[in-house]
Structure 1
């Protein structure tokens, strides 16, 4: 579970652990938060360990898969939630920031998906995180949406490249979700307006997204090569 110490990652890790899945909780720098997730999973009788690394670094991510194989005997599911979301209009975004977004969100997905495709056991699942912003096309999200649009394309192609391997590859595309990443830089008035605009008249929660991730990680063996929008009908 890359990004397992973050909002969606944390809840999804707990949801998978509750279904008797052993979880490696990945973090980029927040070791304390990852340890908290591991402690909470173990307190409920689940199995989990924490491990760090840069998702865009193939050596560090290979070591992450090594941890899973050493601790739990192999890897069956990759859930890739790690990502960053600096916002600015395209005309104003600093190119160094643009490069950082693409490195983490796009290269990071390529690196971990490539390793998963090589190392997952038959019957496994690769689950990437995209965003409903690719449909909503909200101003200010150009660089982020570009990275996630590429993630979606890569997901669909990888699903077809893995023909005969008994591996599913899908992407989950949440809408506005109550995480720290979403709330950052938004006024209460804007948050209320975004929630009110949804047909369900609320924001999504990490639990909403975790249910879809658990479905794809477990019983959804006939769902493959899809982008599933978990957004209350926002678009």
Structure 2
């Protein structure tokens, strides 16, 4: 009996502690389904969050910056040469009346450029919550034509620069504690970009350097998810399939574009607007239990469960070394 009394006292003490942790000390008496639903709806908002999106003056990066801004985030819009395009993205975010934005020139392919973007965010808004590492290059050479400079450019831009940008962001990333049942959002968000090509059963030989670099970033993401998860920081990877951007179309004749489009049950390429909402969700407090994942957003394109037909189509088009020209995304 004495043991039962001690147990009851302990339970009462725990209950009292939890009540004090809850907002206003009030007990949550609402039904589980209602409480869970309202919590998810409330925590998809990014109001007050600060985000850096590398390579965000156009295409996928621009769509991501706008999507984050539409949810209320303050965004650093990064560009290398096209200041006008970056200012347009920043203007669109500010005109939405929800988030704020600044356009910052920096070469995200360099360690110094990544650090300057982090500094710009902290100087403007005082902290950092979200880091989206979108910038990258995609060159096209088979092994016989690959030299050290070509391979190193992929490692530098797609692996080394993003990794060290994360390193310099860590002291500033939000690492708020999530108290049990307190409904407080936790931590920062790091989002890497890879490609669905890393899981393709039909991989083009001239994508060697690109796929090697993206495979590396996927493993870095997994390791960092374990390393930083205890600090309330999640690390995930977005791996799009073919997305209809000017850079994707460069060097490809219409017959190849049409062929790739038809490998998708929707008979189209992906769009930047297909990718951006997923990034916004992963960046939100609602995704606090999503960590260490690689999200392949490709519309179940057959390109990634292929039979070799696409490679044959590329060969017919004589695109062995011109399919994916070197470009900054």
RMSD over equivalenced CA pairs, Å: 1.4
User: Structure 1, residues 114-158: CA drift from partner, whole Å, max 9, x if none?
Assistant: 223332112210001100111122332111111111010000100
| Secondary structure of residue in 2 paired with 1:157 | helix
Tell me how far 1:36 sits from its aligned partner. Answer: 1.8
Which region of structure 1 is more displaced relative to structure 2, 213-222 or 192-201?
Answer: 192-201
Q: Which residue of the other structure, out of 250, 265, 268, is the alignment partner of 1:202?
A: 268
For 2:193 and 2:229, the matched residues in 1 are separated by: 22
Please list every run of at least 4 consecutive aligned residues from structure 1 whose deviation after the TM superposition is greater than 4 angstroms: none
Is the 1:17–1:41 contact (alpha carbons within 8 Å) kept by the matching residues of 2? yes
Is the 1:25–1:37 contact (alpha carbons within 8 Å) kept by the matching residues of 2? yes
Which region of structure 1 is more displaced relative to structure 2, 42-51 or 18-27?
Answer: 42-51
User: Structure 1, residues 143-202: CA drift from partner, whole Å, max 9, x if none?
Assistant: 111111101000010011113210100000000001122111111100000010123322
Is the 1:83–1:104 contact (alpha carbons within 8 Å) kept by the matching residues of 2? yes
The residue that corresponds to 2:196 in the other structure is 132
* 1:161 partnered with 2:227: yes
1:102-181 to structure 2, matched below 5 A, reads: 102-122=155-175, 123-136=187-200, 137-181=203-247
Q: Which residue of the other structure, out of 58, 69, 76, is the alignment partner of 1:24?
A: 76
* 1:70 partnered with 2:123: yes
Structure 2 gap segments, 5+ residues each = 1-52, 176-186, 305-329
Q: How many residues align?
A: 235
Structure 1 gap segments, 5+ residues each = none
1:81-92 to structure 2, matched below 5 A, reads: 81-92=134-145
TM-score (norm 2): 0.68
| Secondary structure of residue in 1 paired with 2:267 | coil
For 1:58 and 1:94, the matched residues in 2 are separated by: 23
| Secondary structure of residue in 1 paired with 2:156 | helix
* 1:5 partnered with 2:57: yes
Tell me how far 1:56 sits from its aligned partner. Answer: 4.1
TM-score (norm 1): 0.94
The residue that corresponds to 1:101 in the other structure is 154
For 2:116 and 2:263, the matched residues in 1 are separated by: 43
The residue that corresponds to 1:228 in the other structure is 295
